[in-house]
Structure formats: structure tokens, C-alpha cells
A and B are shown apart, each in its own frame.
Chain A
Amino acid sequence: MAVETTTRAKLRWGLLDVLVVVFALVPVLWIASLSFKTPATLTDGNFIPREWTLDNYRTIFDTDQFVRALVNSIGIALIATLIAVVLGAMAAYAISRLDFPGKKLLVGVSLLIAMFPQVSLVSPLFEIERQLKIFDTWLGLILPYITFALPLAIYTLSAFFKQIPWDLEKAAKMDGATQGQAFRRVIAPLAAPGLFTTAILVFIFCWNDFLFAISLTSTERSRTVPAALSFFTGASQFEDPTGAICAAAVVITVPIILFVLFFQRRIVSGLTSGAVKG
């Protein structure tokens, strides 16, 4: 880019930037705006609320329905994330560092699962979980979440693990470490950022799921927020649930926004590193 066009180039990029930001933010701002509208102004079609209120938030936090769903969402996503990252880290370490039979098979299987149509699992899981009595339980959702999060975790983590120079592990062994010590004291501290990033990605995945959440639950016992949203009725049966739905939607969007704001760099590197070969 020639020097004399710098200002103009900056302006051009600036405009494009604004376009992207608007494109990305408008739907989010819109639902936030709806959540702050009073019932009277809810249908005025205005992008910015004319009258602001927090009533919608009060309503949802007063109803057991939403609070229960929020607890389910947080609990299920956290447990699934923890397990998926731990199992994924073990497998990714083995894949990127060790030589053992069946390694390619594992990589192939997880790739297959990453592309798997989840709906194909809904019918058998529905039936199997009913037989195992885990239908409509946390476990019933955690299991498929772990399964579909594992390929993501394994890919992202093996990409991170591969960036850690091989020699370090050799050096640790030469310095007198066992394989276990080499992992704990040398590789793990270096892998921590990767683990953290992977945890965020996996959490977002679990937090997001809708299909399993509505298929494998039937009551408030384990229904997560995305699934509960469509069963929302508002404070009473006859009230328009729009404001409540929007408030609930905003609440579950907050963690995502926080992640994105604080860990943008990590998320980008996590998503891109797993995607590029080598």
C-alpha cells in the first residue's frame, strides 16, 4: 500500500470496519432493546426503547421456570466443559506426542463426529436414555454434549500441544523427569492457555445447544435456557411473553459477550489453529 494513500486507505478500512460492527451488533442490540421496553411500547417497532424498564428482568428472575433453566444451563455446560476438556487434553496429548496404535483411527473418528448430523442421534438417544432412566436428567444432556465437544477439544488442543516444542519434553526427560512429570511440570503450564481457550470454545458450544436440549428433556428438571425460551409464557398465561423472552435471551448472552470481549485473541487463535493443517 503506497504511503500517500494512507489516510484514504484508513478511511476506507474504517468504513468497512463500521459496516462489520453494525452487521454484527444490530440483532444483539435489538433484542436487548426489546428487553428494556415496557409492555405498552413493546410493539412500537422502534429500535431504541421510548420508555425504559427493568420489569422484564424482574419477571424472569421471579419465575422459577427461568431460574431453574439458568441453573441447568450453567451446571450442565460447566460439567460437560470440564469433562470434555480433561478427556480431550489427555487424548490430544497422546495424539500430538505419543506413538501408539489406533492413533489415526481416533483422529478419523473424532473428525467423523465433528461432522455428524446431531439429529441422527436424537431418536436413538431418546429411546436409549428412556431405557437407562437418564432421559430428562443433567447426565442425559451432559453425555451428548461431551461427545460433540470432544472433537472440538481434541483438535484445538492438539494444535496447541503441537506448538509446544518437542525438545522441551525430551529435555525434561534428560533432566530426570518421568513421562508424567514431564507432562505436569513442563507441558501443562505451557498448555494452560490452550486449555483455557478450549474450555471457552467448548463452553460456548454446550451453552448454545438447542436440539438436544429440547429433545432429551421434558420438564424443568433439566431443561436449559435455550430450550426453556420457547416454553416461556410470561408472568401469567395471558401475558405476551416477548419481553420476558428477550430479557432471558439477554441474560444468557451476557457470558458470551464477556468471553468475546476479554478473550477475543484467544478465541480467534483457538478457532483458527484447529482449522489449519499442521
Chain B
Amino acid sequence: MSINATPTGADVAAEETRRPAAVPKQRGGRRKPPLSENKKAERRLGLLLCAPAALVMIAVTAYPIIYSVWLSLQRFDLRFPDQREFIGLENYVTVLTNEFWWTAFGVTMLITVVTVAVELVLGMGLAIIMHRTLIGRGLVRTSALIPYGIVTVVAAFSWRYAWTPGTGYLADLFSDGAPLTERASSLAIIMLAEIWKTTPFMALLLMAGLALVPEDLLKAASTDGATAWQKFTKVMLPVMKPAILVALLFRTLDAFRVFDNIFVLTAGGNETSSVSMLAYNNLIRGLNLGIGSTMSVLIFITVAIIAFVFVKLFGTAAPGSDDGERR
């Protein structure tokens, strides 16, 4: 048992110069570092293990974001590359005074607020069903996972064909026109598609919170004379509050990115574009990197503000942000 715990460069070197007959060397206090070999090895290993993940994440997000800010300060249209020049905040003025931007922003906000609110209610119901149902729990959970897992574009096509007059089973049932060609009904269908797709995810996050409510607490509330509704509002909701806030935060930020459903359902027609859709159109369709990047930066800032509001105002605990429990 003369092998060292962590072969460092020095050890390897020592290994080479060691004679075959040499006795197993003892590691003593040759160096006197404040941290022992163990501790240092642990820190080294920790950094080493995290480095690849951290590098990839930083390379693919941090650098592009900075680059994006740089692009947003330029006039840069790939169709007219000669006109590329630094123009300061002019792009921001252009975007922020543009009514398309504000329409898209309004649409995005509307979709975010409505879908998250509806999902919270439906998700809570679904969570309770998945958590407490007496029969067919596996079946319910499996079915609920399908909307979560399914490719958004596939679901969006399903909704599109369902609401296309002639083809769809829903179009003729609920309206006589073409619902996807009118703004209000289009938005409603987009929201329906979003809600269908993400309610299960919300429900799963809430179910995690439900599992934290001790069964004894509910029994105690029952013996104390609480009705089912009182048990829900006075016992379950307070215990679940952290889980609810995390679910809301996740879903709000996710809803704000809405793109796939709109792309397939309306392609942004009839003023149903979201900010993501608008940025995409400027960028990939319009090839205007300057304006597209400006929108990207604005979206990023909005999301940061939403996250900040959640964390600071509501005290949402970021999941996984527990302190190192090594003690």
C-alpha cells in the first residue's frame, strides 16, 4: 500500500527516479501547505470535474451574449454588408419606437400571463389528481407525460389541422370561419396549445411540492375540523409555497420564450408574433443582425427583470441553491 492517493506531476517524476529496490516512500511534511493533500486533491478534483461543463456553458452563452451586445450597437444587415458600422444605441431607439415590437411584446406578455395563470390552476388540479387518485395512478401519470414529452412542433401541427376549416374536427364544431386567420381566435388557440403542452410540467413541479405536505398534517387538520377547502388553502398551500413559486418562475420564463407554437400555427400573421418570433424574423428571414441582436438583448433584459422580481420580491428560492451541506 505505497501508492499515493493522487499522483501529481511531482510524484510521477519521483516515481521515475526511484530505484526498484527502494522502500515505499513515506509522504511526510515535506511541504507545509495550509491544506492537506486530501483537501487539495478534493479541490483539484472538484474543479477538474466541473471545468468541461462550465467551459461549454460559458463558451456557448457568455461569449455570444457579449457578442450580441456588440452586434446590437452596429448597423449590420447581411444583405448590405458594406453598410456595417458602429451606431451606438440607434438600433435600440429603432426597436423601442417600433409598433411591431410593442405589439409583439404585448402579445408575449398576454400569452405569458394568461397561460401561466391557467396552467397554475389546471396544473394544481392535475397534480392533486396524479398525487392522490385512488385508481389508475400509473395511467394518469403516463398520459400526463405525453404532452410534456411530445415535440412541440408536432403538437402544434395537430392543433393547426384541428382548427383548419374542412380538415379539422374542432374548426367546424366551434366556429364557422377560419379561426387561425383572426387575431383573437388565433391567440386563443396559441394559448390553448401552450397550455396543453406545458400544464403537465407545471403539474409535476407542483406534485413535488405536494409530496412535501405531511400526511399527518392533513389528518391533524381534519380532526381539528377543517373542510377540504380549508385544508387546501390553510395547510397545503403554505407548505407548497416554495414549490409553487419555483414552478411559476420556471414556467413564466419559459412562456416568455414562446416560439414553436406561433411559428406553426400562425407564422406570426395577424399580429400574433411574440418577441422571439419577431427577433427570429428580423434575423433569419430579414438577415438584419443589428436589429435582431438588439431584440435579443432586450428579451434577455426582460427575462432578467422577471427573474429578479421573482427572486427578490417573492423570495423564490432558486432550486439547487442550497449551501454546501458538508459539515
Contacts and interface: CB of A to CB of B under 8 A. Distances in A.
In the A-B complex, list the 8 residue pairs whose CB atoms are closest, starting with the nearest: A100-B46, A124-B64, A272-B208, A98-B46, A147-B60, A94-B49, A91-B53, A31-B158
Contacts of B299: 117, 119-120
A155 B319 contact: yes
B25 to A, nearest CB: 18
B24 interface: no
B53 A119 contact: no
20 contacts: A13-B133, A13-B135, A17-B139, A24-B147, A28-B150, A31-B158, A46-B169, A91-B53, A98-B45, A103-B46, A122-B280, A123-B279, A124-B71, A125-B64, A126-B284, A229-B157, A256-B151, A271-B208, A274-B319, A275-B246
Q: Which of A31, A107, A151 has the most C-beta atoms of chain B within 10 angstroms of its own C-beta?
A: A31
A120 B158 contact: no
Interface stretch (A55-63, A185-193, A205-213): A205-213
Contacts of B155: 27-28
B124 interface: no
Contacts, number: 339
B interface majority secondary structure: helix
Contacts of A271: 148, 201, 204-205, 208
B77 interface: no
B167 A242 contact: yes
A155 to B, nearest CB: 5
A278 B42 CA distance: 23
Contact of B154 (A9, A128, A242, A249): A249
Contact of A275 (B57, B144, B171, B319): B319
A24 B146 contact: yes
A71 interface: no
Contact of B157 (A31, A272, A275): A31
Interface in B123-158: 126, 129, 132-136, 138-155, 157-158
A interface majority secondary structure: helix
Interface stretch (B11-19, B95-103, B113-121, B288-296): B288-296
B61 interface: yes
Contacts of A46: 169
A260 B149 contact: yes
B231 interface: no
A42 B164 CA distance: 12
A25 B50 CA distance: 41
B47 interface: yes
Q: Which of A108, A109, A273 has the most C-beta atoms of chain B within 10 angstroms of its own C-beta?
A: A109
A123 B152 CA distance: 22
Interface string B150-180: 1111110111011000111101100000000
A119 B211 CA distance: 35
A14 B137 CA distance: 10
Interface in A103-141: 103-104, 106-111, 113-128
Contact of A211 (B167, B256, B259): B259
Interface string B273-287: 001100110011000
A143 B64 CA distance: 12
A178 interface: yes
B138 to A, nearest CB: 6
A261 B161 CA distance: 26
Contacts of B250: 114-115, 275
